[in-house]
Structure 1
Amino acid sequence: MAGLLQGDRGKMMMKIYHGSSFALAGLVPAAMVIRDGNLPVDLALGVALPVHSHIGLNFVISDYVPKSARLPARASVLGVTVATLYGLFQLNMYGEGVSKTAKRLWRS
């Protein structure tokens, strides 16, 4: 559990963070190019986006939040990450998917 709360600590988390960066660099353009959406791409985005954000926000907490408030801040970020994972999973499985939803933002 400590690894999840301190997402910016350890070699494994750094590998996951960098791996998610590379994954997102390929998945986001692919999701925009694929016409009708693609479930594997949407599922990968539904995991990579929240995981990458979770680790990145833990870096922000380490840099800018006072030590006394870090544990509650990290717990809050973990809660938001879990809720985001759940919401994106629901969108991908029972809705139109991440890529179709994002494309809808640019349609008139």
Structure 2
Amino acid sequence: MSGVLNADRGRGMMKIYHASSIALAALAPAAAAMPEGQLAIDVALGAAMPVHSHIAMNFIISDYVPKGARGPTRAATLALTAATAVGLFKLNTQGDGITRTVKSLWKA
């Protein structure tokens, strides 16, 4: 649990962070190029986005939050990451999916 709360620490978390960066760099243009949403791409985006964001937010917490407040801030970040992951999962399984939802923002 400590690794998830202190997600900006450790070699393993850095590997996950870099892998999620590469995945998002490939998945975002692929999703944009597809005429219709693809469930496999949406599921991969739904997994990579919260993981990448969670680790990145922990870097920000380490840099800008006072030491005494880091524990509760990291716990709140973990709760928001979990809520985001659940929301994206629900969007992918019960809604239009991430790709179609984002594309609908540009439709009249």
Which TM-score applies when normalising by structure 2?
Answer: 0.99
Aligned residues: 108
In the alignment, the residues of structure 1 paired with residue 106 and residue 56 of structure 2 have an alpha-carbon distance, to the nearest angstrom, of 27
Partner secondary structure for residue 8 of structure 1: coil
- Aligned amino acid, residue 33 of structure 2: V
**Aligned position for 1:10:** 10
Give the drift of 1:107: 1.1
**Aligned position for 1:85:** 85
**Aligned position for 1:33:** 33
What are the ranges of 5 or more consecutive residues in structure 1 without an aligned counterpart?
A: none
- The list of structure 1 runs, each at least 4 consecutive aligned residues, that deviate by more than 2 angstroms after superposition, is none
**Aligned position for 1:56:** 56
Alignment of 1:58-73 (within 5 A): 58-73=58-73
Alignment of 1:89-104 (within 5 A): 89-104=89-104
What are the ranges of 5 or more consecutive residues in structure 2 without an aligned counterpart?
A: none
- Aligned amino acid, residue 57 of structure 2: L
- CA offsets per residue over residues 49-100 of structure 1, 9 Å max, x none? 0100000000000000000000000000000000000000000001000000
Give the drift of 1:106: 1.0
- Aligned amino acid, residue 3 of structure 1: G
Fraction of identical pairs, as percent:
58
- Aligned amino acid, residue 96 of structure 1: D
